[in-house]
Amino acid sequence: MSGFLEEINSIPNPCFILDENLLEQNMETLFALQEESGVHVLCALKGFAMWSCFPEMMKYITGGTASSLHEVRLINDEMGVKAHSCFVAYDQDEFQEIQQLSSHITFNSISQFERFKNELTDDVEYAFRINPEFSNVDFKAYNPCLPGSRFGIVLSDLPKSLPKQITGLHFHALCESSAEDFQEVLQTIEHNFGDLLQQVKWVNFGGGHHITQKGYNLKLMSSLLKYIAEKYSVEIYIEPGEAIGLNSGFLIAKVEDVIENQGEKTAVLNVSFAAHMPDCLEMPYKPSVFGESSKGFSFTLGGNTCMSGDFVRGFLFEKKLNAGQCIVFKDMAHYTFVKTTFFNGVKHPSLGVWTKNNEFKLLKEFTYKDYKYRLS
Q: Which residues of 220-254 are buried (b: 16+ CB within 10 A; e: fewer)?
A: ebbebbeebbeebebbbbbbbbbbbbbbbbbbbbb
- Are 363 and 353 in contact by the 8 Å Cβ rule? The answer is yes
pLDDT at 188 over 80: yes
Q: For 245-300, how does the pLDDT look when each residue is reduced to its tens digit (9 = 90+)? A: 999 999 999 999 999 999 999 999 999 999 999 999 999 999 999 999 999 999 99
Q: For 135-169, how does the pLDDT look when each residue is reduced to its tens digit (9 = 90+)? A: 999 888 889 999 999 999 999 999 999 999 999 99
State how far the Cα of 79 lies from the Cα of 306, in Å rounded to an integer.
39
Helix H, strand E, coil C: the string for the chain is CCHHHHHHHHCCCCEEEEEHHHHHHHHHHHHHHHHHHCCEEEEECCCCCCHHHHHHHCCCCCEEEECCHHHHHHHHHHHCCCEEEECCCCCHHHHHHHHHCEEEEEECCHHHHHHHHHHCCCCCEEEEEECCCCCCCCCHHHCCCCCCCCCCECHHHCCCCCCCCEEEEECCCCCCECHHHHHHHHHHHHHHHHHHHCCCCEEECCCCECCCCCCCCHHHHHHHHHHHHHHHCCEEEECCCHHHHCCCEEEEEEEEEEEEECCEEEEEECCCHHHHCCHHHHCCCCCCECCEEEEEEEEEEECCCCCCCCEEEEEEECCCCCCCCEEEEECCCCCCCCCCCCHHHCCCCEEEEECCCCCEEEEECCCHHHHHCCCC
State how far the Cα of 237 lies from the Cα of 171, in Å rounded to an integer.
11
Q: What is the pLDDT of residue 138?
A: 87
Q: For 61-104, how does the pLDDT look when each residue is reduced to its tens digit (9 = 90+)? A: 999 999 999 999 999 999 999 999 999 999 999 999 999 999 99
Q: What is the pLDDT of residue 141?
A: 86
Q: What is the pLDDT of residue 1?
A: 53
Q: For 310-343, how does the pLDDT look when each residue is reduced to its tens digit (9 = 90+)? A: 999 999 999 999 999 999 999 999 999 999 999 9
State how far the Cα of 50 lies from the Cα of 274, in Å rounded to an integer.
20
Mean pLDDT, all residues of the chain? 96
Look up the pTM and report it. Answer: 0.96
- Are 52 and 16 in contact by the 8 Å Cβ rule? The answer is no
For the chain, list the domains and their CATH numbers. 3-17+249-332+340-372 (2.40.37.10), 38-245 (3.20.20.10)
State how far the Cα of 121 lies from the Cα of 332, in Å rounded to an integer.
40
Q: For 193-250, how does the pLDDT look when each residue is reduced to its tens digit (9 = 90+)? A: 999 999 999 999 999 999 999 999 999 999 999 999 999 999 999 999 999 999 999 9
- Where residue 304 falls among pLDDT bands split at 50, 70, 90? very high
Q: What is the pLDDT of residue 369?
A: 97
Q: For 19-40, how does the pLDDT look when each residue is reduced to its tens digit (9 = 90+)? A: 999 999 999 999 999 999 999 9
- Are 326 and 8 in contact by the 8 Å Cβ rule? The answer is yes
